[in-house]
Amino acid sequence: MASKTATAKKKAPKNKLVIVESPAKAKTIEKYLGKGFVVKASMGHLIDLPKSRIAIDVDNNFVPEYITVRGRAKLLKELQSDAKKSSEVLLASDNDREGEAIAWHLRNSILSKYEVPVHRIVFNEITPQAIKEAIKHPMDIDESKVNAQKARRVLDRLVGYNLSPLLWKKVKNGLSAGRVQSVALRLICEREKEVESFIPEEYWTLDGDFKRGKNEFTAQLVQFRGEKPELPNEAAVQAIMETLNGKPASVLETKSLDKTIRPKPPFTTSKLQQMAANRLGYTSKKTMQIAQQLYEGINIGSTRVGLITYMRTDSVRIAATAVEEVRAWIGEKYPDELPEAANEYAVGKKAQDAHEAIRPTYTKYTPDYVKEYLTRDQLRLYSIIWERFVSSQMANAKSRTVSTDIAIDEAVFRVSSTKIVEKGFYQVIKTLAAKEDRQKPLPDMKSGETVDLVTFHPEQHFTQGPARYTDASIVKTLEEKGIGRPSTYAPIISVLLDRYYVTRSNKQLVPTQLGRIINDMLVEYFSSVVDVSFTANVENELDGVEEDRIEWPKMIGEFYFPFKKRVDEVTETLDSVKGTLDEKTDYVCEKCGKPMLKKLGRFGFFLACSGFPECRNTRSIPLARCPRPGCDGEIVARRTKGRGKEFYGCTRYPECDFITHFKPINATCPKCGQFMVEKYDKKNGSYKSCINPECDYLHSQDDGGEPGREE
């Protein structure tokens, strides 16, 4: 009896504690590990710099002063308590600099309280095999990677906490400036200046409709009198048409050209964000949020599966086991499209190559197989990831372009048609990127054969100026210039939008008046800080810290002391523009009768009563008169509830319910007298159009251009 009692009192074996960053990831991993493991989430950083002060000891090697993040003390205490009851703690935060720092802080916090073995585990995908393999090979925390994160955090804090107070003092309270975001803002502002200064030039094209038997086709003038045609105006086109009218048309020659199309490598973070923006219309932030969900785990029936590998990467490298798996799948489904050897892709020179490319964890989970378990957005993103990866290991495709030249006197018209003759990797891409495959085939025409000219089609065009940045193009530019890293592209854009330094208009990034003021000041007085090459060099130095080639305090010191000296100089010498941004207006306060002032606020300019603080009346600045007949209201900017999307409506709402999503500009239509708005489409780019639906007046990009007609 005594032995039974003793047996009953034996302590149960302790569990191993695994700490990840998110609850969704914890849920997936706990299912994989089962008994003997407890999986908890840290919810990101628990320990960081305080928000209320700079907290960097600049006189002592820039030692940061870390504290427990406000509101996270209870969670940290719970994790410490869980660690005490565990046989081992495995820190499984993300395998990047931020994740390493999270693990480092957790380890230090746990060991400051209790003696328990603490190790680091890393994995690139959340699958049973990857998780169990990582647990078999625990390691120490990478101190160099932690130092790289620490250096980046300290540098950003020193820049932000010195520039922001300067902006508060000289421009407006509540402003802020960040190291990397300010460079992105500079790029966006410089592009906007190019857009505004661009003067479109008129040019024309000349097409001809031709007929051969029952077949009709359209060809474009490509040569006149042995040279490329110069058609600057309608008169030039008319002169050519008069020369050619009534003259016979015949086939000059037909050429066929085959082109080999190689599949593209699997996605990196930036390429995924670009594709999702261009094809799906997703913002960078939305793309990363959905990718995070796919990575952390989705319930596929009764099984929880991490569907893709880690989504923050700059490498196109693929694990050998994944290549073997996808080649086996291709060999079974599309044996004719399986290359003899695996396709290999070069990793970019700037790539850190810490992670694989973004790929599905299991090729067998096709988009069709998982579609019933995913939301529409998840399925769309997963589909392009799956297609891009599988196609990357398939055979080349081949296209054939047939071009026929038609001669009329001294003019040559050309018509071309392209089709895919060998599908290759296009077999798995449902949304065929090649428009050629949908082109109408040309009739078989031989040299010397006569064709009939049906009619000419002269068309007026205007040269397109530089396009504003979109999520896709700014990410592409940041990557090409070496600014930021895969984990920072989406936050850079989000911060600029959140601060209202930039807005989205027709998916384009447009600097606000506030953004321009901040940028102009930073470029004039801190040009080196917002310099593209300087920022790119900082990224290279951070890589050097991670590779243990550079001592981070020395790197920070070389930047900080000259920077701080410049901040002090500007603080002393720069005149404050506070209050000078306010402008007197002719508007009168409807509440007290005093004049209204034009002020710069969080969301741009607005009208405020000059009788403040006795009268606190404010309202939006009128942009135009209401176009509704009989209405004497004015059009002002408004925002939708919830998402805060901007639109434009009448001040007499609800009596007048006129609204438009096109922004009124400071111009009136020369044809009908109503106000003009800015529009955008892929064909015309940015252009100005009359708000009157019964008026067809349209202007290309700039008032200097000639009017055309909207089609």
Could you give the CA distance from residue 428 to residue 444 in angstroms, rounded to a whole number?
Answer: 31
- Count other C-beta atoms under 10 Å from residue 591's C-beta: 11
The lowest-confidence range among 241-245, 493-497, 678-682 is 678-682
Closest-CA residue to 15 (of 43, 31, 35): 35
Per-residue pLDDT tens digits for 104-125: 999 999 999 999 999 999 999 9
Report CA dihedral (468, 472, 474, 475) to the nearest 10 degrees. Answer: 180
What is the arithmetic mean of pLDDT over 254-264? 95
* C-beta separation of 124 from 355 below 8 A: yes
How far apart CA 634 and CA 628 sit, in angstroms, is 10
Q: Residue 376's pLDDT band (boundaries 50, 70, 90)?
A: very high
Is 310 known to be catalytic?
yes
Three-state SS at 434: coil
Helical axes 143-170 vs 532-546, angle rounded to 10°: 150
Rounded to 5 degrees, what are φ and ψ at 97? -60, -45
Per the CB < 8 A criterion, the answer to whether 187 and 213 are in contact is no
Residue-wise pLDDT tens digits, 53-74: 999 999 999 999 999 999 999 9
**Predicted local confidence at residue 8, as pLDDT:** 46
pLDDT digits (tens, 9 = 90+) for 377-413: 999 999 999 999 999 999 999 999 999 999 999 999 9
Cβ neighbours around 48 below 10 Å, total: 19
* Stated pTM of the model: 0.85
pLDDT over 50 (residue 256): yes
Tokens 């300087």 belong to 534
Catalytic residue among 282, 310, 501, 560: 310
Q: Count other Cβ atoms within 10 Å, centred on residue 593.
A: 10
Query: 471-480 and 179-197 are packed helices; what angle lies between their axes, rounded to 10 degrees?
Result: 120
**The most confident of 427-436, 438-447, 519-528, by mean pLDDT:** 519-528
Compute the distance between CA of residue 358 and CA of residue 290 in angstroms, rounded to an integer: 13
Lowest mean pLDDT among 128-132, 148-152, 230-234, 642-646: 642-646
What integer pLDDT is reported at residue 431 of this predicted model?
A: 63
Contacts 24+ apart (CB under 8 A), 195-200: 195/465, 195/466, 195/467, 195/468, 195/686, 195/701, 198/465, 198/466, 198/701, 198/702, 199/702, 199/704, 199/705, 200/462, 200/463, 200/464, 200/465, 200/700, 200/701, 200/702, 200/704, 200/705
List, for residues 309-364, the tens digit of each pLDDT value.
999 999 999 999 999 999 999 999 999 999 999 999 988 766 666 689 999 999 99
Asked whether the predicted pLDDT for residue 578 surpasses 80, the reply is: no
Give bridge partners of residue 667 from the DSSP assignment: none
How would you classify residue 593: left for phi > 0, otherwise alpha for psi between -120 and 50, otherwise beta? left
Contact by Cβ (8 Å): 135, 107:
no
Q: Which pLDDT value is given to residue 4?
A: 47
Q: What is the pLDDT of residue 434?
A: 46
Q: Using an 8 Å Cβ cutoff, are 662 and 691 in contact? A: yes
Q: What is the DSSP code string of 259-286?
A: EEEPPPPPB-HHHHHHHIIIII---HHH
* DSSP alpha helix (H) spans, 230-353: 234-244, 269-275, 284-296, 320-333
Inform me whether the pLDDT recorded for 642 exceeds 70: no
Is 156 a residue whose pLDDT tops 60? yes
CA distance 4 to 335: 65
CB 233 within 8 A of CB 202: yes
pLDDT at 322: 95
CB burial class (10 A; 0-12, 13-18, 19+) of residue 13? exposed
What does R_g of the chain's alpha carbons equal in angstroms? 32
H-run or E-run covering 413: strand 411-422
- Delineate the domains of the chain, giving CATH numbers in brackets: 14-141 (3.40.50.140), 150-198+467-573 (1.10.460.10), 202-262+397-462 (2.70.20.10), 269-392 (1.10.290.10), 583-709 (no CATH)
